[in-house]
Amino acid sequence: MHPATPPTHGTMAVPVHRTPVPRRRLLRRLLAAAVAVPLLLGGAVACGGDDEAGSDGKVELSIFWWGGEARAQLTEQALALYTEKNPNVTFKKTWQANQGYFDKLATLTAGGNPPDIFQIDDNFLTEYAARNTTLDLTEYKDNGKLDVSKFPESLWQYGVVDGKLAGLAAGENTQGLVYNKTLLTKNGLPEPTTGMSWEEHIAWAEQVAKKTKVPGTMDASAVDKAFWVWLRQQGKDLYKGNDLGFTVEDVTKWFELWKGARDRGATPTPDVIHEGNATDITKQLVVTGKAGTSWVWVNQMPELKKNTKDELGVVAYPGDPGAQWARAAMYWSVFRGSKHKDAAVDVLNFLSNDPEAVKLLGTDRGLPSNLELRDQVSQSVTDPAMKQSIEVETKLAETFGAAPQVPIKGHSKVRAELTKAAEEAQYGRLTPAQAAEQFYAACKSAIA
């Protein structure tokens, strides 16, 4: 500042002596207002009508799911059908890709603004059920408003957490090893079969790699569902009550199995495995042509097929297929604080048991849960990939073992830690035993 500037800023110094009280009071009022406004708004939302429906009997249900364009179309058609039959119910539909879905759902819940109906999977069902975010559907099941009588017993029970029915299975799936048929037939190689042992699978993959220059199998050491099936084949499980169902030695054996596969050249290089470890369907190595197989769910086969020109096939994971189970591919849950619980449950019932709706939805969320309708749908399906996945899953259903308990709180962290530890071993930064130690310790603290 120029020294000659006249001092005109007397206000800065003087009011300190002259007007302390009004200013402090003003500040206090401002603070009070700033605190009160959000509280009032919050109160207004909380008090805003406990009535089941508006005065004209109209109900708008918000519904939120993850998935792609195709799923959105099918779901919107099914919901439109519901509105056609129940003109007083309309839907506010929101959907997005899987990545970021659960962040969004958690944020909506925190904001006191969760959707009435939302899609969820077994990675998060317990997290939400244990915190009482989901409505217990048991009462509706018992009074018949929610009909699960045509569901396989183990399937609807896979939605029970701590004795409460927290989610309704939106479809059934099971683990599926998808392989590139075109690649194999072109090179005169045998296709993998259900019931191959893990050793046989790896030997087969090595043979594929030698002949085609494409690594035969994706490294499954970071794939939690593969680890889980393998554990069940060893008579163990992922969880037992509120604890882990396996030991450090089990993990070491699992990591060593795959280290062996890598050493034999049966799998891609670590950076490619890392790409394949992303859950995004378009990044699966069987689709990107960087490996002969990918470890996915049977119902994902048709969607994988859309991303490649090659013919694909699907079989069970190696080892005894009896270790696989009828898994709820995903669930529909109702928010416990929803103002329209009955209406929301009725929609769930409709999506699972209405013949037209189930036909519309097809196998996009897994095989229809309702067994009678599943038969009808599988007979009318024309898409060859979908047809094959239905056949394989129906065949596997004959040998399904009992469903395990729904994964416990902390499961999403356990999955992340498995990826981390497995990759440490894949990049050769840790030995299988060290990686197993790290994983086990991390799991213990994740579920504590």
Could you list the residues that contact other proteins (CB under 8 A)?
1, 3, 5, 7, 10-11, 13-15, 18-19, 22-23, 26, 30-31, 33-35, 37-38, 99-100, 102-103, 106-107, 109-110, 112, 127-128, 131-133, 269-272, 274-275, 278, 280, 410, 412-413, 416, 419-420, 423-424, 427, 429, 445-446
Report in angstroms how near the CB of residue 281 gets to other proteins at its nearest: 13
Q: Which residue has the tokens 């196998």?
A: 363
Report in angstroms how near the CB of residue 166 gets to other proteins at its nearest: 13
Report in angstroms how near the CB of residue 15 gets to other proteins at its nearest: 6
Q: 215-252 as b/e, with b when 16 or more CB fall inside 10 Å?
A: bbbbbbbbbbbbbbbbbbbeeeebbeeeebbbebebbb
Complex with other proteins: residue 15 or 355, whichever CB lies closer: 15
Report in angstroms how near the CB of residue 229 gets to other proteins at its nearest: 23
d(C-alpha 364, C-alpha 75), whole Å: 9
Per the CB < 8 A criterion, the answer to whether 180 and 344 are in contact is no
Complex with other proteins: residue 275 or 310, whichever CB lies closer: 275
Complex with other proteins: residue 20 or 144, whichever CB lies closer: 20
Report in angstroms how near the CB of residue 343 gets to other proteins at its nearest: 23
Complex with other proteins: residue 207 or 434, whichever CB lies closer: 434
For the stretch 205-212, contacts whose Cβ atoms lie closer than 8 Å and that sit 24 or more positions apart, written own/partner, are 205/261, 205/266, 205/267, 205/292, 205/293, 206/261, 206/264, 206/265, 206/266, 208/183, 208/184, 208/266, 208/292, 209/265, 209/266, 209/292, 210/265, 211/187, 212/183, 212/187, 212/292
Task: Write the DSSP assignment of 323-363 as a string of letters.
Answer: G---EEEEEEEEBTT-TTHHHHHHHHHHHHH-HHHHHHHTT
For the stretch 201-204, contacts whose Cβ atoms lie closer than 8 Å and that sit 24 or more positions apart, written own/partner, are 201/318, 202/257, 202/260, 202/261, 202/264, 202/266, 203/266
Report in angstroms how near the CB of residue 193 gets to other proteins at its nearest: 32
Q: Which of 73, 57, 164, 80 is nearest to 347 (CA)?
A: 80
Report in angstroms how near the CB of residue 308 gets to other proteins at its nearest: 17
Complex with other proteins: residue 171 or 268, whichever CB lies closer: 268
Complex with other proteins: residue 114 or 152, whichever CB lies closer: 114
Complex with other proteins: residue 69 or 110, whichever CB lies closer: 110
Q: How many residues in the chain?
A: 448
Give the DSSP letter of residue 281.
Answer: G
Report in angstroms how near the CB of residue 312 gets to other proteins at its nearest: 23
Complex with other proteins: residue 133 or 294, whichever CB lies closer: 133
